[in-house]
Amino acid sequence: MNASANLTPASQLFAWEMSRASPVHGDSGRCRTPFGIFSKETAYIGTVIETVTAGDKIVALRMSDPTGICTVHLDPRNSGLYETAAELDVPSFVYVFGTIQTRSSGVSDTAVLSAVVIKAVSRDARNSWILASAKETAERLARFPKTETAEFRSLLQNAVSAAKPAEKKQAMTDEEVLSLIESCYEGKSAPREKVLDALKERGLTRQQAADIIARLMEEGECYAPKPDIIKIA
């Protein structure tokens, strides 16, 4: 299939696909992924899971969405980015506008997102981006053999499930669990054991409580800066 036949805006790229981008020879404004050719300019929303510092400045963000992890570099010419990055909580949902670039490590090339704008956003904004991007991505993948897209399609399904409102009642909704975690805060985080005990008081077994927390972490809803504490995004 000729992937260049449909040039979809890069704003629809998830971390899984973005991290596999490579330059298009002879066209400095576009990049190529396994499933298309795109403008290098992209808008992305994910969860900040780590900050990378050099000296006293944050120079990069490690971000995730339900399909994978990507690296966001801060444009050194934009001093305002450092100030904004310093105010971000880890974890938190963040909008990034920038360009996809390829960095060489000496062993292999890695695609990163070079930021021009970063901004904290709400969970609803993150979920809306996931649902819209998943729809556009699924339409593109339908033009490729299923054997080539199986891994990515599975990740997209998980992403949609994470972003969609719950369709049926359960013992506790994700929002209720996150609210309970927040109610257990001691300062800026919650002790893990305190959260597990609180979930057990709501009728869950310890294993059920641990499984829910693990899933919410995988979906970027909460984060463990240390093994014994939990923070919500």
Q: What is the pLDDT along the chain (233 residues), one digit of tens a residue?
A: 333 334 444 567 999 999 999 999 888 888 999 999 888 999 999 999 999 999 888 999 999 999 999 999 998 788 899 899 999 999 999 999 999 998 876 666 789 999 999 999 999 999 999 999 999 999 999 999 999 999 999 999 999 988 987 554 456 889 999 999 999 999 999 999 999 999 998 888 888 899 999 999 989 999 998 989 999 98
4 contacts: CB under 8 Å, gap ≥ 6: 37
pLDDT of residue 39: 87
CATH number of 174-232: 1.10.10.10
Residue 222 phi, psi (nearest 5): -145, 175
pLDDT of residue 88: 94
Q: Residue 171's closest CA among 137, 143, 209, 120? A: 209
Query: Length of the chain in residues, anyone?
Result: 233
pLDDT of residue 107: 61
Distance separating alpha carbons of residues 163 and 157, to the nearest angstrom = 10
pLDDT of residue 165: 73
**pTM to 2 decimals?**
0.69
- CA-based torsion, 209, 211, 214, 219: positive or negative: negative
Q: What is the DSSP string of 38-67?
A: EESEEEEEEEEEEEEEETTEEEEEEEEETT
Structural domain boundaries in the chain? 3-141, 174-232
CATH number of 3-141: 2.40.50.140
Is 142 buried (19+), middle (13-18) or exposed (0-12) by CB count in 10 A?
exposed
Alpha helix locations (H) across 105-205?
A: 123-141, 146-163, 174-183, 192-201
